[in-house]
Amino acid sequence: KDNIVLPILLPILSCLENILVKHSKGQALVDLVCEHLNLLEKDYFGLTFADGDTQKVSSGVVDYLCSSSSVYSPWLFAFAVKFYPPDPSQLTEDITRYYLCLQLRDDMLSGRLPCSFVTHALLGSYTVQAELGDYDHDDHGSDYVSDFRFAPNQTRELEERVMELHRNYKGMTPAEAEMNFLENAKKLSMYGVDLHHAKDSEGIEIMLGVCANGLLIYRDRLRINRFAWPKILKISYKRSNFYIKIRPGEYEQFESTIGFKLPNHRAAKRLWKVCIEHHTFFRLVSPEPPPKGFLVMGSKFRYSGRTQAQTRQASALIDRPAPHFERSTSKRFLLSRSLDGGMM
């Protein structure tokens, strides 16, 4: 067969079937979805899916799927944010911020983005304002948010607080509500953090988090260390081990290498690729080869998409009327739609 049909789960909880020519690049599928959604600032987004053992899979897998017999398995892809912008206000279009909001709402529902009661209530109130507009007693009554889902373990107390806040937002437009949502969400400690299970050198269970600023280390849900990208000299993996070489500190003479044990070789390679992608996207002006020696012990993988700097330059040239779009109410009645998937 020359063509295959892949079902795509969209943030609006509908299914889009796209035909992708065999042997074409996976980015072509991302481009098709963005075109369907009328998204021009597409570099922040990607596709996720789960492989047979429900582990995350990452960059380049679509290219493999589209050139192998495995494509005839029931792969289900979901459209999602790949790179979380540190400052969403710098996005050019409201429609881009809208889809970022949908992703963050999904992250909160799934528990990937933990929030306090106060934050759940605040973000929930902005969601209601964006979807329903100004509070109107005749239209909304006294129990109008019970169909919304703001938190994994939602309580009546939370819903009442959301309604209390929402009633103060008279005159706030949907775009303004979403901007307020994002300005608060970006301050959360787990905003945009891609977590990976690992063990440290002593065999203690930890989580490694990759984000715009670098690599984070968590133990028992508490961050115990942080390595900013400028501090990391090299990243590598060998079998199921993942290594980072650290630049010497102010009072240190030598570089140091820190190793972590991942569940298997695929998990180590996956983490390695996610690090490459995030480092290139957020730190480099263009996706040129990283400094000599930065990437070792790995495949020939290189992130070839646009960097954040290039994306911002392109966004500044967008010259079209603000696209009209309907804000979805389909998050109601439903909990998280996300697959346990990784980006491609």
Cα pseudo-dihedral 39, 106, 209, 291, rounded to 10: 0
Label the pairing between strands 232-238 and 3-9.
unpaired
How far apart, in whole angstroms, are the C-alpha atoms of residue 30 and residue 33?
Answer: 5
Average pLDDT over residues 258-280: 95
Specify the DSSP element, H or E, that contains 156.
helix 156-166
pTM, full prediction: 0.85
pLDDT digits (tens, 9 = 90+) for 214-249: 999 999 989 999 999 999 999 999 999 999 999 988
Please, what CATH class does the domain formed by 3-82 belong to? alpha beta
Q: What is the mean pLDDT of the chain?
A: 83
The CATH code belonging to domain 88-185 is 1.20.80.10
Q: Identify the top-confidence range among 51-55, 63-67, 250-254.
A: 250-254
- pLDDT of 69: 45
Q: Name the burial class of residue 143, with classes exposed (0-12), middle (13-18) and buried (19+) by CB atoms within 10 angstroms of its CB.
A: exposed
- For residue 201, how many other CB atoms are within 10 A of its CB? 9
- pLDDT of 74: 55
Average pLDDT over residues 163-174: 97
Specify the CATH number for 194-303; select among 1.10.290.10, 1.10.3720.10, 2.30.29.30, 3.30.420.40.
2.30.29.30
- How far is Cα of residue 339 from the mean position of the Cα atoms in its chain? 12
Query: In this model, does residue 58 exceed pLDDT 60?
Result: no
The answer to whether 3-82 and 88-185 have equal CATH topology is: no
Rg of the chain taking only CA atoms, in angstroms = 21
Domain spans of the chain?
3-82, 88-185, 194-303
- How many alpha carbons lie under 13 Å from residue 141 in its C-beta half-sphere? 4
Cα separations in angstroms, 320 against 40, 88, 102, 163, 175: 10, 20, 23, 36, 17
- 52 three-state secondary structure: coil
Determine contact, residues 14/334, Cβ cutoff 8 Å.
Answer: no
- pLDDT of 54: 40
Average pLDDT over residues 55-82: 57
Residue 89 in tokens: 């206000």
pLDDT digits (tens, 9 = 90+) for 89-99: 999 999 999 99
pLDDT digits (tens, 9 = 90+) for 92-128: 999 999 999 999 999 999 999 999 999 999 999 999 9
Determine contact, residues 99/39, Cβ cutoff 8 Å.
Answer: yes
DSSP type of residue 114: -
Tracing tokens 């607080």 back to the chain, one arrives at 161
